[in-house]
Structure 1
Amino acid sequence: MKIARYDKVVNIPNSMTVLDELLPISIEMARRNCRGIWNFTNPGVISRNETLEMFRDYIDPKFKWKGATMNWMLQS
């Protein structure tokens, strides 16, 4: 939802975390009383446009977004 609220989106790759894949290991870590800060991501990346396309396809078929370049970000 966060990225869907941006005025413009630069199409760069990001890492992502799939929570249903994270849950089993999180439960096992709790059972083993693991402590500390843990950062989880799935291997690989997904572009912001791919993420927004999935949002449009699965959540809101009328959703539209505006693309931007890195130059736009640096000037803002």
Structure 2
Amino acid sequence: MDKKLTLRYDKIGDILYIDTCPPYPAQESEELGDEIIARLNPISSNVENLEILFFSQRPEPLNLLELPISTALRVAG
């Protein structure tokens, strides 16, 4: 089953959340560097969520952000 990608921004915490599912307690966390936290499936170790800390303070130009993950994007339908 394909998962939808959800983006949420917490203005108070200045965190961008990128989710393929709601976070849950059994997920494992791993810091990827550059203030990016990956939440992993405890069985498959697949990345299910990303938390990008201090999102609004990312360097210019255009707040460019490169994530250390690979993905295949398709239109859900």
Q: TM-score range by the shorter chain?
A: under 0.3
Report the TM-score when normalising by structure 2: 0.18
Q: Report the structure, 1 or 2, having the larger strand content.
A: 2
Report the TM-score when normalising by structure 1: 0.19
Q: Which has the higher contact order (CA 8 A, sep 6+)?
A: 1
User: Is the radius of gyration larger for structure 1 or structure 2?
Assistant: 1
Q: Report the structure, 1 or 2, having the larger helix content.
A: 1
